[in-house]
């Protein structure tokens, strides 16, 4: 018997047509989410291109726990918990850099990039049982890498990485396949944005097509695309939303792009003549026909549960801080072997993503207002019925699919959340 | 070196720019800019815009889009506008050439996020301005705002900084 309160009965809080307000505000639920989703389950932590050279490191979190991604002398990528094995000092304080060892300033113990203990002052008094080889940094027990995207689980056992990604693997592929070398690069740095809101509002919002016309109206007006019918199936937008299972969701614009068949509608409508080397490299790698298809369809707009958002040519992820706070990160998705694309991609990310951009400040303001509104206890439930009567399994791929403004993706998120949180409850 | 008269003139210009920003006087603020404008909020002092992402890196046309959006009435992250007041200090002025000046300064800004959290946000850092004299009038063609916490998680930066 522990002092923890009885685990929450999630089945009474989550239904397909509604979810309970306390899910966003209750500190006990937040703690159970950290234990189950972030400190056991698979989460996104970074990309191998962020530590390209031996000795490179980058600080991250898994849920609330600080870690370091390193590339060691044998060219292996390691995920180490950022805690000195002596008495717990935060070992690495720099956000990123290159080092040969990490030395703890408290008593001077030092560690290699693989986490192994390298040295300490005055070893004698430690006693015979003390073995430096056993005093390395703790390692994240399970690491999964697909197309350079690094995911981690702090649990020794549990669902395999393959089962976790499931079919949604192809969403990561679709991003990497826009590079003539089949690889994306993260190297432009991360923008960091503080939302005074519950973390779940981010994955819920990021594949929500319904909010765009209202939340982002100022951007649509300022850039002259208001009333274009985008995100509005009643005005003919054929884009769809899709439930990939496992909490992974997608807002697919390709059906809209295919109507005109013009390339690069996801890249400001840039004409291919402006990107001659990129076009040539892609055609050489994948052939003319396949390249043309990729240039029309574009990159994915999708959530990999719980914290990675493939936002077309942006990569976004987040860390929960508390029931009322989450930090969202943004960087441009750069394509290896496509320098013509990358400088423009940086400018495109600045326009759309981040606290000073034309899009995300509205999402942050709406999330914060949602959080404030949920302080009111009634009407208790958040309504999620939109599209419930018209969503259907797409015969082509077997995935639940619906119109662009439907809440199918929100329901997909919550269905998976309920599965995870209920399994954790029955296991405890 | 700049003359006392030039110093006062440049100082008056940057105080005016600060007041327009504080009061979200969008048209007045936009009218200060030259066509070769750069309005820049990097994430680190040694950032290179060729390869690094910035919070804001607006050329003249992006400044115009930013102002159109703020004036649309639907920029929810600035509706209503944040009440703001900033102090510009530690001003150092040097001539860039015969008709342009470089100005270095520090700033502190109190911003009240009335649209959402009602948090009182404290912003601060260094500013570099570049001004040009055009037909006797000073004009702004470069403003770089190096926030002390540029590489930390920050709140919405949808107002004029
Ligand atoms: S806590 Fe790190 S050396 Fe003592
Ligand atoms: Fe949005």
- List the domain range (segments joined by +) for residue B58: 4-147
By the 8 A CB rule, do A67 and A60 touch? yes
Closest Cβ–Cβ partner in B56, B117, B153 for A350: B56
pLDDT classification of A428: cutoffs 50, 70, 90: low
B156: tokens are 């919405």
Interval A350-368: pLDDT, tens: 999 999 999 999 999 999 9
Question: What does the pLDDT read at residue A375?
Answer: 97
Inter-chain touch A354–B55, beta carbons under 8 Å: yes
The alpha-carbon gap from A117 to the nearest alpha carbon of chain B, in Å, equals: 31
Question: What does the pLDDT read at residue A3?
Answer: 46
Q: Where are the domains of chain A?
A: 43-153, 167-427
Helices A288-297 and A276-286 pack at an angle, to 10 degrees, of 120
Segment A74-97 mean pLDDT: 97
Question: What does the pLDDT read at residue A2?
Answer: 44
pLDDT classification of B1: cutoffs 50, 70, 90: confident
- The number of domains in chain B is 1
Q: What is the DSSP string of A211-247?
A: THHHHTHHHHHHTT-TTS-TT-GGGT---EEEEEETT
Point out which residues pair with B130 in neighbouring strands: B102, B142
Q: In what order do the strands lie in the sheet with A101-103?
A: A101-103, A110-112, A117-119
Rounded CA separation A42/A63 (Å)? 10
Q: H or E stretch including A423?
A: helix A408-427
By the 8 A CB rule, do B145 and B125 touch? yes
On whether residue B152 sits in a domain, the answer given is no
pLDDT at A425 over 90: no
Question: What does the pLDDT read at residue A6?
Answer: 58
Rounded CA separation A272/A264 (Å)? 8
Specify the residue for token string 């309970």.
Answer: A20
> Which residues 6+ apart lie within 8 Å of A333 measured at CB?
A175, A184, A186, A299, A310, A312, A313, A314, A315, A345
**Whose Cα sits closest to atom 1 in ligand 1?**
A87
A217 touches chain B (CB under 8 A): yes
pLDDT classification of A1: cutoffs 50, 70, 90: very low
Q: What is the DSSP string of A125-158?
A: GG-TT--GGG-SPPB-SEEEEETTEEEEESSSSS
Segment B124-143 mean pLDDT: 98
Give the CATH number, domain containing residue B35: 3.10.450.50
What CATH number does the domain located at A43-153 have?
2.102.10.10
Rounded CA separation A69/A113 (Å)? 9
- Please tell me whether residue A326 adopts helix, strand or coil conformation: strand
Inter-chain touch A362–B51, beta carbons under 8 Å: no
On whether residue B125 sits in a domain, the answer given is yes
| Among the listed residues A137, A112, A133, A113, the one whose alpha carbon sits nearest the alpha carbon of residue A123 | A133
How many angstroms separate the alpha carbon of residue A57 from the centre of ligand 1?
20
Rounded CA separation B84/B18 (Å)? 10
Determine the Cα angle at A360 with ends B43 and A185, to 5°. Answer: 55
Rounded CA separation A138/A152 (Å)? 14
Contacts of A266-273 spanning 24+ positions with Cβ under 8 A: A266/A298, A266/A299, A266/A312, A266/A313, A267/A298, A267/A313, A267/A341, A267/A344, A267/A345, A267/A348, A268/A344, A268/A348, A270/A344
pLDDT classification of A228: cutoffs 50, 70, 90: confident
Please give the C-alpha separations between residue A300 and each of A257, A311, A320, A342, A362, in angstroms, as whole numbers: 13, 7, 24, 17, 22
- Looking from the CA of residue A109, the nearest atom of ligand 1 is 3
pLDDT at B27 over 70: yes
Rounded CA separation A125/A111 (Å)? 20
Question: ω into residue A379 within 30 of 0, thus cis?
Answer: yes
pTM over 0.90: yes
Rounded CA separation A414/A385 (Å)? 13
Instruction: Work out the burial of residue A293: count CB atoms within 10 Å of its CB; fewer than 13 is exposed, 13-18 middle, 19 or more buried.
Output: middle
Rounded CA separation A263/A255 (Å)? 13
Determine whether the shortest distance from the Cβ of A84 to ligand 1 is under 6 A: yes
The alpha-carbon gap from A397 to the nearest alpha carbon of chain B, in Å, equals: 37
Q: What percent of chain A has pLDDT over 70?
A: 98
Chains A, B: CB contacts under 8 A, how many? Answer: 112
A340 touches chain B (CB under 8 A): no
For β-strands B137-147 and B33-41, DSSP reports them as parallel
pLDDT at A288 over 90: yes
| Among the listed residues A361, A350, A419, the one whose alpha carbon sits nearest the alpha carbon of residue A14 | A419
- Looking from the CA of residue A108, the nearest atom of ligand 1 is 3
Interval A173-194: pLDDT, tens: 999 999 999 999 999 999 999 9
Q: Tell me the average pLDDT of chain B.
A: 98
Interval A117-140: pLDDT, tens: 999 999 889 999 999 999 999 999
B149 touches chain A (CB under 8 A): no
Residues of A in contact with B156 (CB under 8 A): 193, 355, 361, 364-365
pLDDT at A143 over 50: yes
Q: H or E stretch including B4?
A: helix B4-22
| Mutant choice from A356, A357, A360, A375 vs B, greatest count of B C-beta within 10 A | A356
pLDDT at A247 over 60: yes
Question: What does the pLDDT read at residue A227?
Answer: 82
By the 8 A CB rule, do A217 and B74 touch? yes
Furthest CA-CA distance within chain B: 47
The best mutation among A90, A102, A107 to test binding of ligand 1, ranked by most ligand atoms within 8 Å of the C-beta, falls on A107
Instruction: Work out the burial of residue A238: count CB atoms within 10 Å of its CB; fewer than 13 is exposed, 13-18 middle, 19 or more buried.
Output: middle
Question: CA end-to-end span of chain B, whole Å?
Answer: 28
On whether residue B19 sits in a domain, the answer given is yes
Q: What value of ipTM does the predicted structure carry?
A: 0.97
How many angstroms separate the alpha carbon of residue B145 from the centre of ligand 2?
26
On whether residue B155 sits in a domain, the answer given is no
Ligand nearest to the CA of A107: 1
CATH of range A167-427; options 3.40.50.300, 3.90.1150.10, 3.40.50.720, 3.90.380.10: 3.90.380.10
Segment B7-16 mean pLDDT: 98
């Amino acid at each position: 018997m522990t002092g923890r309160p009885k685990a929450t009965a999630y089945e009474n809080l989550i239904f397909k047509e509604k979810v309970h307000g306390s899910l966003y505000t209750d500190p006990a639920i937040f703690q159970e989410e950290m234990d189950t989703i972030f400190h056991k389950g698979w989460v996104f932590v970074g990309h191998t291109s962020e530590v390209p050279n031996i000795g490179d490191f980058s600080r991250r979190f898994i849920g609330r726990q600080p870690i370091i991604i390193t590339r060691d002398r044998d060219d292996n990528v390691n995920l180490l918990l950022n805690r000195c094995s002596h008495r717990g000092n935060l070992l690495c304080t720099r956000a990123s850099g290159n080092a040969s060892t990490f030395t703890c300033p408290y008593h001077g113990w030092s560690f290699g990039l693989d986490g192994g203990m390298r040295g300490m002052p005055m070893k004698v008094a430690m006693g015979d049982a003390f073995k430096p080889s056993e005093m390395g940094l703790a390692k994240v027990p399970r690491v999964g890498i697909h197309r350079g995207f690094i995911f981690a689980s702090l649990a020794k056992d549990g669902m395999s990485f393959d089962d976790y990604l499931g079919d949604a693997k192809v969403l990561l592929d679709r991003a990497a396949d826009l590079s003539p070398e089949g690889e994306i690069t993260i190297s432009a740095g991360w923008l960091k944005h503080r939302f005074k809101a519950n973390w779940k509002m981010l994955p819920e919002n990021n594949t929500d097509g319904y909010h765009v016309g209202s939340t982002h109206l100022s951007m649509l007006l300022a850039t002259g695309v208001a009333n274009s019918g985008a995100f509005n199936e009643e005005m003919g937008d054929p884009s769809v939303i899709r439930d990939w299972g496992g909490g992974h969701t997608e807002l697919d614009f390709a059906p809209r792009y295919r109507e005109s068949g013009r390339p690069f509608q996801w890249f400001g409508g840039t004409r291919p003549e402006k990107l001659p080397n990129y076009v040539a490299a892609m055609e050489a790698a994948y052939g003319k026909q396949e390249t043309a298809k990729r240039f029309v369809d574009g990159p994915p707009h999708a959530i990999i549960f719980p914290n990675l958002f493939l936002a077309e040519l942006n990569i976004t992820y987040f860390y929960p801080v508390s029931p009322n706070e989450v930090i969202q990160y943004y960087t441009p998705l750069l394509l290896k072997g496509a320098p013509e694309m990358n400088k423009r991609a940086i400018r495109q990310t600045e326009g759309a993503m981040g606290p000073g951009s034309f899009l995300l400040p509205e999402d942050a303001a709406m999330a914060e207002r949602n959080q404030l509104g949920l302080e009111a206890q009634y009407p208790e439930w958040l309504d999620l019925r939109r599209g419930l009567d018209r969503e259907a399994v797409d015969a082509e791929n077997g995935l639940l699919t619906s119109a662009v403004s439907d809440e199918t993706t929100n329901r997909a998120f919550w269905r998976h959340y309920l599965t995870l949180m209920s399994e954790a409850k029955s296991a405890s | 070196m700049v003359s006392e008269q030039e110093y006062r003139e440049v100082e008056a210009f940057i105080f005016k720019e600060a007041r327009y920003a504080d009061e979200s006087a969008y048209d007045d603020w936009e009218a200060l800019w030259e066509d070769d404008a750069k309005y820049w909020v990097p994430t680190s002092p040694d950032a290179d815009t060729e390869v690094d992402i910035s919070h804001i890196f607006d050329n003249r046309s992006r400044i115009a889009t930013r102002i159109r959006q703020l004036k649309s009435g639907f920029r929810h992250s600035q509706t209503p506008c944040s009440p703001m007041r900033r102090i510009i200090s530690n001003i150092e002025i040097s001539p860039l050439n015969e008709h342009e000046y470089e100005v270095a300064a520090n700033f502190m800004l109190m911003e009240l996020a009335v649209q959402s959290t009602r948090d009182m946000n404290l912003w601060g850092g260094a500013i570099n301005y570049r001004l040009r004299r055009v037909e006797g009038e000073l004009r702004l063609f470069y403003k770089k705002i190096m926030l002390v916490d540029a590489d930390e998680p920050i709140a919405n930066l949808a107002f004029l900084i």
